[in-house]
């Protein structure tokens, strides 16, 4: 039993992985997508935490250098405050949590639908 049960489960794992193969997508050629329609970004709010000097500089660069006056940035003291603000704001709210100098996480409202094109197979 100690030998046969693992082999039995291995067989079922292999069978299940063959029934749901990973999808491989073709490469997409580099093309010019044109200019960004900034009208959809009017009154768009980006909240970020923690409010460090580097995070402020990054968010200032994102808001003003790339999009002009369309984006509003708000800083929050903690991740909990960011989540509360996300629940109270409209659907045009995105949260950014800076983990360290080189990494961050995006927090979208629950109403954002993720594309199934980029979802890996189970």
Per-residue pLDDT tens for 5-53? 999 999 999 988 888 777 777 787 888 877 766 666 667 788 888 888 8
Show me where the domains of the chain are located: 38-107
Residue 83 has pLDDT above 90, yes or no: no
pLDDT of residue 105: 85
Per cent of the chain over pLDDT 90 is: 6
Higher pLDDT, 119 or 89: 89
Q: Residues with Cβ < 8 Å from 38, sequence gap 6 or more?
A: 67, 68, 70
Residue 94 has pLDDT above 50, yes or no: yes
Q: What DSSP state is assigned to residue 118?
A: G
Query: What is the residue-wise DSSP string for 23-34?
Result: P-PPP-------
């Amino acid at each position: 039993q100690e030998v046969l049960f693992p082999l039995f489960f291995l067989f079922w794992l292999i069978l299940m992985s063959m029934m749901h193969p990973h999808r491989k997508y073709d490469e997409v050629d580099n093309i010019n997508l044109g200019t960004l329609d900034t009208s959809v970004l009017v009154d768009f709010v980006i909240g970020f935490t923690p409010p460090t000097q580097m995070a402020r500089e990054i968010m200032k660069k994102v808001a003003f250098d790339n999009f002009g006056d369309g984006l509003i940035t708000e800083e929050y003291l903690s991740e909990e405050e960011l989540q509360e603000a996300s629940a109270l704001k409209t659907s045009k709210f995105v949260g950014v949590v800076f983990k360290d100098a080189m990494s961050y996480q995006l927090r979208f409202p629950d109403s954002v639908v993720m594309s199934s094109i980029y979802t890996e197979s189970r």
